[in-house]
Structures are given as structure tokens and as C-alpha cells.
Amino acid sequence: MPFKKGQSGNEAGRKPGTPNKTTTELRLFISEFLNQNKSGLQRAWIELEPKDKFSAFQSLLKFALPQKMSQQIDFNNLDEDVLDAIIDRLNPNTNE
């Protein structure tokens, strides 16, 4: 018999929102590694070619910035005033 939504098969299990122990330990390890090796990492960064610096920086951005999500807009549901405002913002050179 399948479980009902919101019910656990193991009531004594981990509660929602409890951090994963392995993830917590790995984050702590990485943080300690970075703190202990700051000077070496800075020297390595200085020695990188500009294209490699850009590539490394770009790779790290995904951990600091939220990922953009695509959105669908149904223009058929917008009234004329809203559509005109959108057109004006997209094409500021139109003078009507």
C-alpha cells in the first residue's frame, strides 16, 4: 500500500529540514581546506592565464548566483495598455 502524501514510512527517521551529515562534513572539509591553503591558492590564481582565470571564475559563479529560469508569457491574456508599455520598453526609439 503506497504512503499518503506528507506521511513517512519511518516515523523515527530524519525530520524534514535536517541537514545531511555527509554534506555538512564535506562543506566543513572544503571550508577548512580553503582556509588552510589561502596563500597557495592565491599564488596559483596569480599564475593562471587570463583565459583560465575567466574559466575558473565562470565555473565558480554557479555556486554563488541563483540559476536563471525561463518563463513563458502568454501575450494573449494582456490588455492593450500593458502590451503598448512592453513595446515602448523594448523599443525606446519609437515616438508616437
For the chain, give every domain's residue range: 20-65
Q: Is-contact 53 45, C-beta < 8 A? A: yes
Q: Is-contact 41 34, C-beta < 8 A? A: yes
Q: Answer positive or negative: Cα dihedral of 53, 55, 61, 63.
A: negative
Instruction: Out of 67-71, 80-84, 92-96, give the one with best mean pLDDT.
Output: 80-84
Identity of residue 30: I
* Phi, psi dihedrals of residue 91, rounded to the nearest 5°: -130, 85
> So what's the pLDDT on residue 71?
85
| pLDDT for residue 38 is more than 90 | yes
Q: How confident is the model at residue 55 (pLDDT cuts 50, 70, 90)?
A: very high
Torsion, Cα of 22, 27, 32, 33 (10° steps): 90
Rounded to an integer, the average pLDDT of 59-87 is 87
